[in-house]
Amino acid sequence: MLKKFSIICLSNFFIASVLGLLLRYASIDALGINYRYFTHAHSHVAMLGWVYLMLYTFIVFNFTRQNRKKYIRLFWITQISVLGMLLSFPFQGYGTVSIAFSTLHILCSYFFVFWVWKDLKNKTGASILMLKSALVFMLISTIGVWSLGPIIAIYGNGTPYYDIAIQFFLHFQFNGWFLFGVLALLIKELNIKNSTLFKSFYLLLTFATIATIALPIYWYQPSIVLFYLNGLGVFLQLIAVLILFRLIYLHIKKSKPTWSSLSIFTYAFVLSCIGFKVLTQGLSLIPGLAEELYQYHSLIIGFIHLVMLGVITGLLFYMLLNSFLYHKPVVLKLGFYSFYFGFVTTEFLILFQAINYYFWESGIENYNTLLFVASIFLSLGIFLIALSIIFAKPKPQYELDFSLSKK
């Protein structure tokens, strides 16, 4: 089942990347599509069809041991909700059908949280603490979604309150549920104990996640209190990341793991993205720069991709690498390196374009074309990785009985 679920998740990811390519091309030549509607489809399938369901799969395989048939059924219902969003968002945006499938996904996530929480009963440890926090952040994030109805009814959808609700959801999805979720998997994989050092990391990262919600609110409701609260969050996050690096270093020093060159590269890639994420958020502490950065929409997209594709997807790829025995490793390597090349190139183009506009008020020649070409490598990489897993075999510890006939 791990193999089947992984292929489905990667298929969702590939579809999302193709939609992203379509959006990139729409900036070069008119395609007659509703750009905003297709953006909704792209983001929802990427977040909920790839990250959410891949996290779901790894959590079930790593943290649960009994009555797995309910998780299988819930996976398929959740996948149906993703397909519903894929087929409805491009044609109606936030309409009756797409909202119905989005609501179904949220309700499925509530069942998932409830069941996993029950399965974690009486279990302790560093990874359990991180996972429980991830689940709590997921629940908190949905407050932003449920608040949209009342906000639209009272204030309309073009108000700061509407935008703040969206940012609230995205913040606690990316920096809460997704980030804590993949870190829970990493901490379990590395067998990091619930030590004093880990507890310091956990508390600092938790407080930082809560405090940095101040930045997206500050964009719409500027306040000196929000500015300094975000500053505190960024500072706490920096210390937390340094402690995380220390925990990983101590693990490597003690256990001396025998990693493949691709695993080492992926590890270094993820840690670099985490460091760059903290550095990028640190720029918001420069007075006046936070407001200016927000004016460059492409930079916001670039930061979302940094977290989504660099940190979160990078860690999910690391878990995939460690979960299978690969029949065609050359294809796998080509897939990973193609993805990483596409990611780094697109991020560089977005950053360099923003720097050009900021200092010289001129853009890169053929910027949209270059961005489109670089993005092709992302889709190609995802396709090759999925192809490798089709011919791969799960490692023995993941060959668990997931049949519907068993409890």
CA distance 19 to 99: 20
Q: What is the DSSP string of 285-313?
A: GSTTHHHHHHH-HHHHHHHHHIIIIIIIH
pLDDT at 403: 44
Q: How far is CA 378 from CA 34, 339, 347, in A?
A: 23, 4, 12
Highest mean pLDDT among 41-50, 85-94, 289-298: 41-50
- Paired sense of beta strands 393-394 and 324-325, if any: antiparallel
CA distance 212 to 123: 30
Q: What would the pLDDT profile of 55-92 be if each residue is shown by its tens digit? A: 999 999 889 877 788 999 999 999 999 999 999 999 98
Is a pLDDT exceeding 90 seen at residue 133? Answer: yes
Q: What would the pLDDT profile of 178-187 be if each residue is shown by its tens digit? A: 999 999 999 9
In one-letter notation, the amino acid at residue 343 is: F
CA distance 231 to 237: 10
Q: What tokens appear for 114 in the block?
A: 């409830």
Report yes or no: 45 and 85 within 8 Å, Cβ to Cβ: yes
Is a pLDDT exceeding 80 seen at residue 49? Answer: yes
Mean pLDDT of 232-238: 95
Is a pLDDT exceeding 90 seen at residue 251? Answer: no
Q: Which residue has the higher pLDDT, 212 or 252?
A: 212
Q: What tokens appear for 323 in the block?
A: 């979960």
pLDDT at 405: 37
Lowest mean pLDDT, pick from 90-94, 148-152, 255-259, 314-318 = 255-259
- Measured CA angle at 153 (ends 149, 158), to 5 deg: 90
Q: Which residue has the higher pLDDT, 2 or 134?
A: 134
pLDDT at 400: 52
| Burial class (CB within 10 angstroms; exposed 0-12, middle 13-18, buried 19+) of 345 | middle
- Give residue 125's region: left, alpha or beta (phi > 0; psi -120 to 50): left
pLDDT at 397: 63
The pTM is what? 0.92
Q: Which fold has domain 1-122?
A: Four Helix Bundle (Hemerythrin (Met), subunit A) (1.20.120)
Is a pLDDT exceeding 50 seen at residue 401? Answer: no
Neighbouring residues of 60: CB distance < 8 A, sequence distance ≥ 6: 68, 71, 116
Q: What would the pLDDT profile of 84-116 be if each residue is shown by its tens digit? A: 999 999 998 888 899 999 999 999 999 999 999
Share of the chain above pLDDT 90, in %: 61
Q: Domain map of the chain by residue range?
A: 1-122
Q: What would the pLDDT profile of 300-345 be if each residue is shown by its tens digit? A: 888 899 999 999 999 999 999 888 777 768 899 999 999 999 999 9
